[in-house]
Amino acid sequence: MPNPNAILANITRIDPPLDKPAAELLRGSERGLDIEFANARRAHLDPADPRSAGFADILETLRRDKRLVYVEVDPANDAITRLLIPKVTRVVAIGPPTADGIAVELAYSHARHLLRRDHPDFEALDEALRAAHAKRLRAIVVEDEAHRILELRFMPGPDDGPIPDLPPFPERLNWFERFWRWRWWPWWWFGCVSAAKAQQMFDLVSATSCNPLTVPPPCIPFLYPDDGCWARAHEMCRLMIDAGVTPRKLWIVGSLHVSTKNNPYCEVWWGWHVAPTLCVRKWRWWWWWASEKMVIDPALFTGPVSAATWKSVQGDPNAALYPHDASVYYRWSANNLETDPTYSKTWGYLEDYRLYLKNRSLQLGPPPYANCP
């Protein structure tokens, strides 16, 4: 049974309208801000709650974009006590049952989503997930900060159909790369960058990291490592291409488990991950034109690292690596690759994860988390 003190709906109105900074509107107000939802329910933001100004900014963004929100309210006064941003997505795969529950793979997500066995509605939600998967329906998934599924509802509308098979992906190589494709040929070495240049590119992209409490666009939410790596990687490649280098991308697929101070639970679980790479010149006395693939991943490291080092911190020695061209945006499978040449999808997902980062920081504090080793 859904939580009776929770509201899952679109926002129709915020009163008074946010024509001034939310903190200013809340200051001196007895009632705070009233939030009206499409299901005719109402709630309000308590001016005494230090999170309310940040909540108001998130709610206004969701109202403007006609997106759903999930809030829990105090039954005594209808004040919002918790805010979560649902995912509207599709169930791609359901893992086998375990002692903890069932792992779920969602479209446009590399995080592990878990339906815990101790959820009071475990059986009903399990049935709903399997129906969403079998019927290929879009679903509204509400989960907490540990990616434990709290609620699931079907989106009204027709069958979405299977994930489309995209046409074979032609790797877009420039004339230099086409002519000198074989790595053993010495001229390939001159198409790589120096170690100093690789560090410069790392610094270029990591400098765009978001302030976790304000998340001003177009910052990249590296401090929310849980999800969204494909959008971060695509935007990093765009920045590096604009700076005059030729990155590629490296996917890793496996049962990935990474320790991090940027998650309040000190760890993240992924089914896959992706980051940009650069070919870096390496001088060795026995092979002066040697080169090495270096990964640019500010969500995990403070500088470029080798592919082997990048793989080693992700907790699965049996994970597989798949290199691709920088223009690959999302990898459904080896032969089903999606592009985003206008970066419209990239920027949309980055906006989503900026909101997730801000919402987490308001409720659990900003990263890095001192409780993490």
Judge whether 87-154 and 175-364 match in fold: no
φ, ψ dihedrals at 217, nearest 5°: -65, 150
Convert 154-169 to b/e letters by CB count within 10 Å (16 or more is b): eeeeeeeeeeeeeeeb
Convert 312-334 to b/e letters by CB count within 10 Å (16 or more is b): eebbeeebeeeebbbbbbbbeee
Span 6-84: which CATH code? Answer: 2.40.50.340
87-154, what's its fold? OB fold (Dihydrolipoamide Acetyltransferase, E2P) (2.40.50)
**Dist CA 338 CA 281 (whole Å):** 30
Residue 260 reports pLDDT greater than 90: yes
What is the per-residue pLDDT across 119-178, written as a single tens digit (0 to 9) for each? Answer: 999 999 999 999 999 988 899 999 999 999 999 998 765 555 544 544 444 444 454 554
Q: Which helix (H) or strand (E) holds 105?
A: strand 101-106
Amino acid at 45: L
Residue 1 reports pLDDT greater than 60: yes
Amino acid at 20: K
What are the residue boundaries of the structural domains of the chain, listed by start?
6-84, 87-154, 175-364
CATH 3.40.630.30 fits 175-364, yes or no: no
* Mean pLDDT across the chain: 91
**Dist CA 371 CA 373 (whole Å):** 7
What is the per-residue pLDDT across 213-242, written as a single tens digit (0 to 9) for each? Answer: 999 999 999 999 999 999 999 999 999 999
Entry field: residues in the chain: 373
Average pLDDT over residues 105-118: 97
**Dist CA 121 CA 349 (whole Å):** 30
**Dist CA 142 CA 201 (whole Å):** 37
pLDDT tier at 291, thresholds 50, 70, 90: confident
Q: Which helix (H) or strand (E) holds 37?
A: strand 33-37
pLDDT of 10 reads 97
What is the per-residue pLDDT across 53-76, written as a single tens digit (0 to 9) for each? Answer: 999 999 999 999 999 999 999 999
